Amino acid sequence: MTQDIVKPLVFEDLVVGQEVHTLVRGPITTSHLMRWSAAIENWHRIHYDHPFATGHDKLPGLLVNGTWKQHFLVQMMREFLGPTGWLWKIDFSFRKMDVAGSTLTAWAKVTDLQVRDGLGYVTCEIGIRNQDGQESTPGSATGVVALKGGKPVPYPFVPPHD
């Protein structure tokens, strides 16, 4: 698989409002869904049994698993934060279905930047849009990165005291 090319993140260069990272996967075929369902042993037939999904459950097609989409968002944020950053928090809502055949883009836009205890905290609006620009999984995420010349992010991560 092609490695996604990622520029190293410099906290001091980030600007609120900036779309900072995208990750594209797709088209997500029935084979992708079968591989995912088998890997996590999710046997819900709406993800791999087309007659069941469309006939019994009256869905528009086979559904891309919510569990796949959540890892897709996590992967996108971790790519953005880089190998020395830490994804601290993420939340998202499953608002719309994505069906097999879709090409999906996970994206992040900076909404807040803070320096606390010598570390940079970057909060983003996140989501997944399909090839038609329809958003299915809106949410937000906060990552922690080192400042230029600053101390590294501790591991295991200890959240700041409010």
Binding site for other proteins (CB under 8 A): 1, 3-4, 25, 32, 35-36, 38-46, 49, 52, 56-57, 66-68, 70-72, 74-75, 78-79, 83-84, 86-94, 137, 139, 152, 155-159
> Rounded to the nearest whole angstrom, what is the least distance from the CB of residue 15 to other proteins in the complex?
25
> Rounded to the nearest whole angstrom, what is the least distance from the CB of residue 51 to other proteins in the complex?
11
> Rounded to the nearest whole angstrom, what is the least distance from the CB of residue 112 to other proteins in the complex?
17
Burial state string for 48-62 with b = 16 or more CB within 10 A and e = fewer than 16: bbeeebeeeeeeebb
> Rounded to the nearest whole angstrom, what is the least distance from the CB of residue 157 to other proteins in the complex?
5
Burial of residue 138, with CB atoms counted within 10 A of its CB: 0-12 exposed, 13-18 middle, 19 or more buried: middle
Pick the closer one to other proteins by CB: 91 or 135: 91
Pick the closer one to other proteins by CB: 11 or 72: 72
Q: Are 65 and 42 in contact (CB under 8 A)?
A: yes
Pick the closer one to other proteins by CB: 90 or 99: 90
**Distance between start and end Cα atoms, the chain:** 42
| Residue 160 CB partners (closer than 8 Å, separation 6+) | 116, 117, 121
